């Protein structure tokens, strides 16, 4: 592993290891069969699969047009972000960190009628291509709620806060970006004009703006995703997510998802140097 990349990998994976070790002693970890059922009943399997859609933004981060690679880009994404690979990574991590107690608590809620209906719409939302319509629809819903000063806004804010109670998503997104850029530089795909420390400092300078954008996006997405649910159902979901055990589950799920995302983006960067622009006939 190139020295330039080693530190950025160490930063997230070490913090990740410390966090999951505190959450769940390995001796109490769930078995693989239960974990596979858990991924399905909670919809986390689809959430992991949707990471592939985020790869559409990868070339733009490097100043490269994905279309320049033609069908090679699609093949690369399908190989690197293969569902089986990401599921196995999740099972490996969760097999050492997620206790039966936490697994059962989350699975019991999502196995209910309300839980399964929530998972169904969340799965659809995860896999929906972002063509602008989803965002526009969510924004229109939020504007309507704001015009009538609807109490539903507070409920949606409770939902989005509960799924990222410690605000770790901002740091995780920054880490994914840094690891991707450093991996691309190490592979000779791009030439960075600043050192890693300067890159991180530049990102820190934009944290307030990014935090606001993430919060607004999460709220818009929630308004769109849960539009068919009553206020009472949304409140019940918020209460379930705010439970201390569910908070531990979501902290772990978020960490796992971002670790897999960073790992796969690094894999993409490492292989970009071997790709040549092509034209589909």
What is the per-residue DSSP string for 209-225? HHHHHHHHHHHHHHHHH
pLDDT interval class at 276 (50, 70, 90): low
Q: Which of 30-44, 66-80, 119-133, 214-228 has the lowest mean pLDDT?
A: 66-80
Q: Is residue 99 part of a domain?
A: yes
pLDDT interval class at 228 (50, 70, 90): very high
pTM of this structure: 0.82
Judge whether 171 and 8 are in contact, CB under 8 Å: no
Over the stretch 250-260, which tens digit does the pLDDT of each residue have? 999 999 999 99
Judge whether 49 and 257 are in contact, CB under 8 Å: no
Q: Residue 194 has what pLDDT?
A: 85
CA distances from 227 to 43, 121, 156, 186, 231 (A): 19, 10, 10, 45, 10
Q: Residue 13 has what pLDDT?
A: 42
**Spatial distance between the Cα atoms of 232 and 64, rounded to a whole number of angstroms:** 46
Task: Summarize the confidence of residues 2-6 as an average pLDDT.
Answer: 31
Nearest to 62 by CA among 173, 172, 189: 189
pLDDT above 90 for 263? yes
Task: Summarize the confidence of residues 54-73 as an average pLDDT.
Answer: 77
Q: Is residue 126 part of a domain?
A: yes
Q: Is residue 279 part of a domain?
A: no
Q: Residue 2 has what pLDDT?
A: 31
Contacts of 119 (CB under 8 A, 6+ apart): 41, 42, 43, 110
**Spatial distance between the Cα atoms of 252 and 117, rounded to a whole number of angstroms:** 23
- Average pLDDT in the chain: 84
Q: Residue 143 has what pLDDT?
A: 97
pLDDT above 50 for 280? no
**Spatial distance between the Cα atoms of 60 and 65, rounded to a whole number of angstroms:** 6
Q: Residue 161 has what pLDDT?
A: 93
**Spatial distance between the Cα atoms of 140 and 220, rounded to a whole number of angstroms:** 9
pLDDT above 60 for 269? yes
pLDDT interval class at 170 (50, 70, 90): confident
Q: Residue 1 has what pLDDT?
A: 28
- Tell the residue number behind the tokens 């600043």, with chain if given: 194
**Spatial distance between the Cα atoms of 104 and 80, rounded to a whole number of angstroms:** 31
Q: Is residue 277 part of a domain?
A: no
170 or 273: whose pLDDT is higher?
170
Q: Residue 19 has what pLDDT?
A: 45
Encode 25-40: b = buried (16+ Cβ within 10 Å), e = exposed: eeeebbeeebbeebbe
Residue 116 half-sphere exposure toward CB, CA atoms < 13 A = 5
Query: How many domains does the chain contain in total?
Result: 1
pLDDT interval class at 100 (50, 70, 90): very high
Q: Which of 24-28, 36-40, 108-112, 185-189 has the lowest mean pLDDT?
A: 24-28
DSSP H stretches of helix in the chain: 3-23, 32-42, 44-49, 51-54, 58-61, 71-80, 83-97, 100-110, 113-127, 133-147, 152-162, 168-186, 196-205, 207-225, 231-242, 244-272
**Spatial distance between the Cα atoms of 52 and 130, rounded to a whole number of angstroms:** 13
Over the stretch 5-42, which tens digit does the pLDDT of each residue have? 323 333 344 344 444 444 444 444 568 889 999 999 99
pLDDT interval class at 66 (50, 70, 90): low
Range of the domain at 248: 3-272
């Amino acid at each position: 592993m190139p020295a330039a990349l080693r530190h950025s990998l160490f930063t997230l994976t070490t913090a990740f290891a410390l966090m999951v070790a505190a959450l769940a002693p390995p001796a109490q970890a769930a078995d693989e069969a239960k974990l596979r059922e858990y991924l399905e009943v909670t919809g986390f399997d689809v959430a992991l699969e949707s990471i592939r859609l985020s790869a559409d933004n990868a070339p733009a981060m490097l100043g490269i047009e994905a279309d320049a690679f033609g069908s090679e880009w699609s093949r690369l994404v399908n190989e690197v972000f293969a569902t089986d690979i990401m599921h196995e990574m999740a099972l490996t991590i969760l097999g050492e960190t997620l206790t039966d107690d936490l697994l059962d608590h989350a699975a019991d809620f999502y196995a209910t009628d309300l839980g399964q209906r929530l998972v169904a719409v969340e799965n659809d939302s995860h896999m929906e291509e972002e063509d602008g319509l989803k965002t526009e629809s969510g924004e229109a819903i939020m504007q309507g709620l704001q015009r009538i000063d609807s109490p539903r806004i507070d409920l949606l804010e409770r939902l989005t806060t509960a799924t990222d109670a410690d605000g770790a998503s901002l740091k995780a997104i920054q880490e994914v970006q840094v690891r991707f850029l450093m991996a691309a530089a190490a592979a000779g795909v791009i030439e960075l004009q600043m050192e890693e420390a300067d890159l991180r400092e530049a990102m820190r300078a934009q944290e307030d703006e990014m935090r606001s954008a993430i919060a607004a996006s999460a709220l818009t997405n929630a308004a769109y995703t849960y539009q068919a649910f009553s206020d009472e159902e949304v409140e019940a979901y918020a209460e379930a997510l705010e439970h201390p055990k569910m908070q531990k589950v979501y902290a772990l799920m978020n960490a796992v998802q971002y670790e897999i995302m960073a790992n796969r983006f690094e894999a993409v960067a490492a292989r970009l140097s071997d790709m040549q622009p092509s034209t589909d006939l």
